[in-house]
Structure 1
Amino acid sequence: MPDSSRDTPEGAGWGTAERGAYRRLMPTEVQKISWLDPRMLWAARNGVLASWFGDPTGRTRGRWVAQRAAAGAPADKVIRRDDPDRFSFLVIGDTGEGDEPQYAVVPGLLKAGADTSFAVLASDVIYPVGGADDYGPKFFRPYRDYRAPIYAIPGNHDWYEDLGAFMRVFCGDAPPLAPEPKPRPLTGPWLRGLLWHRPRDTDGLRLDEARKYRSDPAQAALQPGPYWAVDAGPVRVVGIDTGLLGRLDAEQGAWLREVSRDPRPKILITGSPLYVDGAHHPCEIEGGGTVDDIVRDPAHRYVAAIGGDIHNYQRYPVRVGDRTIQYVVAGGGGAFMHATHTIGRVDVAGVTERDFRCYPLRGDSLAFYSTLYGRRTRLRRFFTLTEAEAAAVVAERLGIPLTRAQRSEVRITRRTRVVASLLGAGRRPDRTARLRLPVRKIYTSLFSPGSATYSPPFFKCFLRLDVSPESVRLRCYAATGNRAQEADPPVEDEVTIPLPEAG
């Protein structure tokens, strides 16, 4: 078993390791996404408009679902496969920036997932706005050598062009929706409609050419809409679409309740994680109730809920009655990295630091961001922390043991503490916290290309789930961009989830 980041710094990708061969898979020219570009910000405005003037996602989703039903999609939106009782599948979250970190995941994914039956992309398939012509370099090309079907649930970025490209790629060349009647002037919907971003008329001209990358019949996948269920072997995998603002419309909520009554054990895949960054986000359903109410209901037999949207890995084993549900964040499939060092000492729903897992480790996350700020501000000598310094100061601030053994004692200096506080390590209140620099949201909105970086370690990941009639074995594999982890991907976390007997 190769060293992981929990074993050695080299296992995390630090040091002078040889870079992997993933760049051979990439196109000659790669467009780098920059949220400092006003054109990019303007194109991605629909999420803000939805929060200001009302979210039309539910109505639009209902129209897409009705269109697919009229085209012959199954009424229950269930994909029935003929997998055996023992099979495996992959989950990859928040993939589509089309740059080095996304492609760096591919070699390890192909190696660890060579025998899997299918894969699921969980949230934000395409950045920045889900455009059809971006599917070539950001979906079809990177996964061209994965020889099994790929299903997907959309994230908020896929909704920035009303989901049209997503539906064309995953739901059988769905034609555009007919225009809706214009709202009354000077109302919120009217203002939203004036400013709403829509795809270019010429978008998608390269889509047919891009499909050739995944044209083998074994790769074919057709799903009934943006939300669906897959009956595979002894389990049902349920995928839900949380739209622009992270909630479900009433129609999808009713479907989720109905599809959850099936007696099989279930795994939920969602665009918005239910536990993340040490907090509970149950996901509202229009008309009442939450997604987590459905997951926790013992009659529905959910054993795990896996969400994208946040670009790292986290796991919360939550005790619910006489069973444990594994709540997982799995958004590290390629997009810029969200910090983990800003997660405070975990104590939520009975889950403590002893039970909680994350990747990258908090110390590695702090070292990563300290290097970025050092480069951005040209104050490398002040900001940059070694991985050992970062791990030590995080452990001190949170009052937890070191996650991996240090080779030598590291003295925590005043500078180290100041940098850790400025970068929000552990969210510990102190005087320096008033001067805290943006890391979690503002930083990644403004400097996502910098937080992705174009040299290892990238701290990306993907999941492999091995299903049997008795259990599901969930493993989180790392992708650093280095040759060692590319050739033999290390396992950063692993848990075996017992399955209840089907009723």
Structure 2
Amino acid sequence: MSAEESPGPESPASPESSRDSEAGAGWACGKPGKFNDLLPERVTDFSWRRPKVLWHSRNDVLARWFGDPSNAIRRRCVAALGERGTPAAFTVHRADPEFSFVLLGDTGEGDRSQYAVVPPLLHAAGDTDFMILASDVIYPTGDAAQYPDKFFRPYKDYPAPIYAVPGNHDWYDGLRGFLHVFCDLDADCTPPPWRGPLSFLPRLLWRSPGDVDRDALAEARRRYRGAPGQQSVQPGPYWAIDTPSLRVIAIDTGITGVIDRDQGRWLREVSAGPKPKLLVTGKPLYVDDDHRPGRIEGGGTVDEIVRDPAHHYVAAIGGDIHNYQRYPVTTEDGRTIEYIVSGAGGAFMHATHTIPRTRVVGEDAFRCYPLRGDSLSRYSRLYGRWLRLRKLFELTPEEATAAVEHRLGITAGRGYGKPAPSRRARFVASLLGVPRDGRRRSRFLRFPVRKVPQRFRSELADWDDPPFFKSFLRLDVTESHLRIRCHAATGCGDHETAPPVEDEVTIELR
């Protein structure tokens, strides 16, 4: 049985998960989710099809074509924090060796899929000591004006402080909104001019940060998250939380995933010593069966620091990709580091059925949520509706699971008994990007599921009815162990008070 589908350790109170039944996956909701009661009176469906949204997101394209100025901007912002008196260690200290926190990534679309995560999060992790948002707090362009509706309001009932690492979308306004809300810094760290024969283009087209309405943000904070226990000011866009049992280290990966040399130097310094450590990053180091080590300006990679046995990392968690994945990677010295993707906190879903039979780790060790069959079934319905070819495209979860089994050569049973897939199911699976026998997807005769820019594919991967296949992590730390549980947020009322546990791992802290 593949680890993707095999049942992991279960919490005693956990209901059936997607690995147990279709009902556990949320395909049949017994009652609607109460998250609908939390929605604002007017909810604007998030869409990249609006020309205004695409235009405001142009910095992503400019950064990839002409060079990412995030490192230069960050250095200026960090210098401004230093002038204000922020200690260079960028570290928050906690005295209690036993604590819990909740982590979720890519949250801020402000629509039903974001609010669907809130009730199960409050029930399963409302008693935690703090929250971490890992990447893309605000979609689409990180504007300060959107924090009231996409950050303060959704998490108004979470009673503890919230820390964050920025994602590429938060950088589209030069990180100005993020720095104001999380670091209490209002600074326009405009990028330096580009150099080269075509440098006039990025200088002309680059989107400058918008204005910050301090009074509006202060009012939103007072109205929604004004309790004393909810307040916090994090040291900077990258930071650490140091406790007697575990050091949580968070890095800022900018737009393209490269960190500046000053942050790299800080990361090496804060990673030193025998204390166990956990990395939080805007870009995951392992994702979609691919190793993305994270380049550091001037030489070296983030993963080289994580793998160094002298640094004692036990896990690395990244956002950016909107699903859950876990790769327990064994290092050269025999240690196991858990590499986790946790980017399903509210934004549209990235497919898991396009992940090939894993080679980074054995398929029996790999975990993902949603399951590949559920992902294919969901996308088949999206394309059937979009192309108005429902009879051709739409696959039931059972049909989709059979097609995934056939093409990947894995056992993906959920009590289906390994039925043979129909020709139609095999055809749809091929068109929607399920690899064949573990090979990477062909570039030809495939519909755009993952290999096109996000701003063009996301409207095909967004919906406003269950199952949403969102998730969040609860992490419990003692002096001897770190326990990580991935909870599902399906949007079904049946799952809000006891969200299913889709994956769980306990790590010994030495």
Q: TM-score, normalised by structure 2?
A: 0.93
Name the counterpart of 1:283.
294
Cα distance between partner residues in 2 of 1:378 and 1:175: 48
The secondary structure found in structure 2 opposite 1:47 is helix
C-alpha distance 252-178 of structure 1, shift in aligned 2 (>3 A): closer
Name the counterpart of 2:444.
434
Name the counterpart of 2:66.
53
Name the counterpart of 2:49.
36
Question: Do residues 448 (structure 1) and 461 (structure 2) align?
Answer: no
Instruction: Check conservation: 2:402, 2:418, Cα contact below 8 A.
Output: no
Name the counterpart of 1:107.
119
Question: Do residues 177 (structure 1) and 188 (structure 2) align?
Answer: yes
Question: Do residues 162 (structure 1) and 162 (structure 2) align?
Answer: no
One-letter amino acid of the structure 1 residue matched with residue 504 of structure 2: E
C-alpha distance 151-179 of structure 1, shift in aligned 2 (>3 A): closer
Which 4+ residue blocks in structure 1 deviate beyond 4 angstroms?
A: 178-184, 186-189, 202-205, 427-433
C-alpha distance 188-216 of structure 1, shift in aligned 2 (>3 A): farther
Question: Do residues 2 (structure 1) and 12 (structure 2) align?
Answer: no
C-alpha distance 265-342 of structure 1, shift in aligned 2 (>3 A): same
Cα distance between partner residues in 1 of 2:146 and 2:109: 9
Name the counterpart of 1:312.
323
Instruction: Check conservation: 1:266, 1:303, Cα contact below 8 A.
Output: yes
Question: Do residues 237 (structure 1) and 253 (structure 2) align?
Answer: no
- Equivalent runs, 1:123-138 vs 2, <5 Å: 123-138=135-150
Instruction: Check conservation: 2:245, 2:479, Cα contact below 8 A.
Output: yes
Cα distance between partner residues in 1 of 2:457 and 2:31: 27
Cα distance between partner residues in 2 of 1:430 and 1:181: 40
Q: What's the RMSD between the two structures over aligned residues?
A: 1.9
Give the CA deviation at 1:7: 0.4
Pick from 91, 96, 105 the counterpart of residue 93 of structure 1: 105
Pick from 148, 153, 156 the counterpart of residue 165 of structure 2: 153
Q: Structure 2: which 5+ residue stretches go unaligned?
A: 1-13
- Write out per-residue CA displacement over residues 253-276 of structure 1, whole angstroms, 9 at most, x where no aligned residue: 010001101331100000010000
Question: Do residues 22 (structure 1) and 32 (structure 2) align?
Answer: no
C-alpha distance 55-369 of structure 1, shift in aligned 2 (>3 A): same
Name the counterpart of 2:422.
413
Instruction: Check conservation: 2:273, 2:310, Cα contact below 8 A.
Output: no
Instruction: Check conservation: 2:433, 2:441, Cα contact below 8 A.
Output: no
Give the CA deviation at 1:180: 6.5
Give the CA deviation at 1:405: 1.6
C-alpha distance 262-215 of structure 1, shift in aligned 2 (>3 A): farther
Give the CA deviation at 1:469: 1.1
Instruction: Check conservation: 1:132, 1:204, Cα contact below 8 A.
Output: no
- Equivalent runs, 1:68-79 vs 2, <5 Å: 68-79=81-92
C-alpha distance 187-225 of structure 1, shift in aligned 2 (>3 A): farther
Cα distance between partner residues in 2 of 1:307 and 1:214: 26
Pick from 374, 392, 395 the counterpart of residue 384 of structure 2: 374
Instruction: Check conservation: 2:323, 2:342, Cα contact below 8 A.
Output: yes
- Write out per-residue CA displacement over residues 239-261 of structure 1, whole angstroms, 9 at most, x where no aligned residue: 00000101111110010001101
Question: Do residues 13 (structure 1) and 1 (structure 2) align?
Answer: no
Cα distance between partner residues in 1 of 2:408 and 2:316: 27
- Write out per-residue CA displacement over residues 354-386 of structure 1, whole angstroms, 9 at most, x where no aligned residue: 000000000000000000001101111110000
Instruction: Check conservation: 2:35, 2:118, Cα contact below 8 A.
Output: yes
Instruction: Check conservation: 1:274, 1:292, Cα contact below 8 A.
Output: yes
Instruction: Check conservation: 1:344, 1:398, Cα contact below 8 A.
Output: yes
Give the CA deviation at 1:34: 1.7
Name the counterpart of 1:292.
303
The secondary structure found in structure 2 opposite 1:300 is coil
The secondary structure found in structure 1 opposite 2:139 is coil
- Write out per-residue CA displacement over residues 296-328 of structure 1, whole angstroms, 9 at most, x where no aligned residue: 001100000000000000000000112100000
The secondary structure found in structure 2 opposite 1:397 is helix
Instruction: Check conservation: 1:310, 1:330, Cα contact below 8 A.
Output: yes
C-alpha distance 177-463 of structure 1, shift in aligned 2 (>3 A): same
Give the CA deviation at 1:16: 4.3
Give the CA deviation at 1:442: 2.5
Instruction: Check conservation: 1:338, 1:444, Cα contact below 8 A.
Output: no
Question: Do residues 492 (structure 1) and 505 (structure 2) align?
Answer: no
The secondary structure found in structure 1 opposite 2:147 is helix
- Write out per-residue CA displacement over residues 18-49 of structure 1, whole angstroms, 9 at most, x where no aligned residue: 22000111111122222122211111011111
The secondary structure found in structure 2 opposite 1:352 is coil
Give the CA deviation at 1:207: 1.7
Q: Which moved more, 1:116-125 or 1:395-404?
A: 395-404
Instruction: Check conservation: 1:32, 1:449, Cα contact below 8 A.
Output: no
- Write out per-residue CA displacement over residues 49-91 of structure 1, whole angstroms, 9 at most, x where no aligned residue: 1122221111110111111111121111111123x22211111
Instruction: Check conservation: 2:101, 2:474, Cα contact below 8 A.
Output: yes
C-alpha distance 222-483 of structure 1, shift in aligned 2 (>3 A): same
One-letter amino acid of the structure 1 residue matched with residue 311 of structure 2: H
The secondary structure found in structure 2 opposite 1:116 is coil
Instruction: Check conservation: 2:76, 2:189, Cα contact below 8 A.
Output: no
C-alpha distance 409-286 of structure 1, shift in aligned 2 (>3 A): closer
Q: Which moved more, 1:16-25 or 1:160-169?
A: 16-25
Give the CA deviation at 1:204: 5.9
Cα distance between partner residues in 2 of 1:72 and 1:168: 16
The secondary structure found in structure 2 opposite 1:369 is helix
The secondary structure found in structure 2 opposite 1:73 is coil
Question: Do residues 470 (structure 1) and 483 (structure 2) align?
Answer: no
Cα distance between partner residues in 2 of 1:225 and 1:187: 35
One-letter amino acid of the structure 2 residue matched with residue 374 of structure 1: G
C-alpha distance 430-201 of structure 1, shift in aligned 2 (>3 A): closer
Cα distance between partner residues in 2 of 1:374 and 1:112: 35
Give the CA deviation at 1:353: 0.4
One-letter amino acid of the structure 2 residue matched with residue 413 of structure 1: S
Pick from 299, 321, 342 the counterpart of residue 330 of structure 1: 342
Instruction: Check conservation: 1:421, 1:433, Cα contact below 8 A.
Output: no
Pick from 376, 397, 401 the counterpart of residue 387 of structure 1: 397
Question: Do residues 207 (structure 1) and 217 (structure 2) align?
Answer: yes
The secondary structure found in structure 1 opposite 2:36 is helix
C-alpha distance 203-415 of structure 1, shift in aligned 2 (>3 A): farther
The secondary structure found in structure 1 opposite 2:137 is coil
Cα distance between partner residues in 2 of 1:202 and 1:85: 38
Cα distance between partner residues in 2 of 1:431 and 1:25: 40
Q: Which moved more, 1:441-450 or 1:86-95?
A: 441-450
Pick from 313, 325, 337 the counterpart of residue 302 of structure 1: 313
Number of aligned residue pairs:
494
Pick from 126, 133, 141 the counterpart of residue 121 of structure 1: 133
C-alpha distance 274-347 of structure 1, shift in aligned 2 (>3 A): same
C-alpha distance 215-187 of structure 1, shift in aligned 2 (>3 A): farther
